Amino acid sequence: MKLLVVEDHRELHALLRTHLERAGFAVDAVASGKAALDALAVGDFDALVLDLGLPDMDGMAVLAACQKLPRKTPCIVLTARDALDSRIAGLNGGADDYMLKPFDMAELEARLRAVLRRTHGMPQNRLELGNVAFESVSRLATVQGCPVDLLRREAMLLEEMLRVWPRIVIKERLEEHIYATRESVTLNAIEALVSRLRRKLRDGGADVLIDTVRGLGYRLVLAQDARRDGHQS
Ligand code: CA
C-alpha cells in the first residue's frame, strides 16, 4: 500500500515517513502543496496523510484535488487544535478522518488502517491463506504458526498478494505499491524479490505457492490446487 504524506514541518515529516515505512507502507513524502499536487497528478496512492497548514497553499486545495481522482483515495487530515473550528465544515466535505496535533503515531496508523479497510475493502489486520498468515500491524508472517523471517519488502509483497487473493497482483502495480517513487526499481528487482519470498515460503513448509502468470504478474495458489491445475511456480 502506498501513501502520500504531505507535511512541511521538518521533524514531523521525517517522523511520519519513518514510522509509516516501518509500519509496512511505501511512502512518498512531500513538504508543499505544489509538490503534493504534482505527486497526485502522476502517482497512484492508496491514501493521503495531509497537513492543512502548508507553506504555499491551503491544504484544502490538495484535499479537493484528491477528491477529483478517478479512484477514491482516502485522506487523513492533520490539523492544529486551534484551527479545527474553522476547518470542520471543509473536513466534513472531504476528509475521511482527522488527527489533532500533536498526535500519537500509533493512533494515526490505526486510523489509517481503518480508513483503508473502509475504502478498499481491506480485510481484517490478519490475512490468511492455507497455513500462511500475516499480521498487518505487527508485520509478522507465519507458516503453520511458526514465524517466518521476512525483510520489509518481502512482507509487503506477501501482504499485497494475500490481500488481493485469489486475484493476480499485476507486476507493474507491485512496483507502484511497494516502492516509494524516489526509489528506482527494475522489474528484475521485483522478480528477485518474488523468488526470495517464494523460497522462504517453501522452506518454511507453506502449502501456498507463488504462481507466475506470464506477462501479467503473480498470485498465490494453494499447493493442492497448483498440483491439480499444473501451475508454474
Ligand atoms: Ca504545517
Identify the CATH number of the domain in which residue 130 sits. 1.10.10.10
Same domain for 148 and 213?
yes
Q: 8 CA distance to ligand 1 centroid (A)? A: 5
pLDDT digit string (tens) for the chain, length 233 residues: 899 999 999 999 999 999 999 999 999 999 999 999 999 988 889 999 999 999 999 999 999 988 888 778 899 999 887 776 666 766 766 788 889 899 999 999 999 999 988 887 765 688 999 999 999 888 999 999 999 999 999 999 999 999 888 889 988 888 888 888 777 778 788 999 999 999 999 999 999 999 999 989 999 999 888 777 766 55
Cα 214 to averaged position of ligand 1 atoms, centre (Å) = 46
The pLDDT value recorded for residue 232 is 52
What is the Cα–Cα distance from 70 to 84, expressed in whole angstroms?
28
Kindly give the distance from the C-alpha atom of residue 207 to the centroid of ligand 1, in angstroms, as a whole number.
48
Residue 182 has a pLDDT of 78
Rounded to whole angstroms, how far apart are CA atoms 141 and 147?
A: 6
CA of 88 to the centre of ligand 1 (A): 17
Q: How far is the CA of 31 from the centre of ligand 1 (A)?
A: 9
- The alpha carbon of 23 and the centre of ligand 1 are apart by a number of angstroms equal to 23
Q: Provide the residue range defining the domain that includes 42.
A: 2-120
Place of cell 508472517: 141
CA of 61 to the centre of ligand 1 (A): 14
Distance 219 CA to ligand 1 centre (A): 41
d(CA 96, ligand 1 centre) in Å: 19
Look up the CATH number of the domain holding residue 115: 3.40.50.2300
End-of-domain residue from the set 120, 139, 171: 120
Taking the C-alpha atoms of residue 61 and residue 34, their distance in angstroms, rounded to an integer, is 10
- The predicted structure's pLDDT at residue 55: 96
Residue where a domain terminates, one of 64, 90, 120: 120
Same domain, 116 and 134: no
Same domain (yes/no): 106, 204: no
**Ligand 1 centroid – CA 28 distance (Å):** 17
Query: 27 CA distance to ligand 1 centroid (A)?
Result: 18
Q: Are residues 6 and 116 in the same domain?
A: yes
Expressed in angstroms and rounded, the spacing between residue 43 Cα and the centre of ligand 1 is 22
Domain end among 93, 120, 147: 120
Looking at the structure, do residues 101 and 190 belong to the same domain, yes or no? no
Ligand 1 centre to CA of 63 (Å) is 14
DSSP labels for 48-115? EEEESB-SSSBHHHHHHHHHTSSS---EEEEEEGGGHHHHHHHHHHH-SEEEEES--HHHHHHHHHHH
Backbone angles phi, psi at 212, to 5 degrees: -90, 125
- Distance between the two ends of the chain, CA-based, in angstroms? 24
How many Å lie between the centroid of ligand 1 and the Cα of residue 184?
28
| Residues 134 and 208 both lie in one domain | yes
User: Distance, CA 136 to ligand 1 centroid (Å)?
Assistant: 29
| Same domain, residue pair 184 and 209 | yes
Give the span between the Cα atoms of 26 and 83, in whole angstroms: 30
How far is residue 38's CA from residue 4's CA, in Å, rounded to a whole number? 11
Ligand 1 centroid to residue 54 C-alpha, Å: 5
pLDDT tens digits, one per residue of 76-125: 999 887 776 666 766 766 788 889 899 999 999 999 999 988 887 765 68
Whole-number Å distance, alpha carbon 58 to ligand 1 midpoint, is: 10
Which residue matches cell numbers 479537493? 64
**46 and 111, same structural domain?**
yes
Number of domains the chain contains:
2
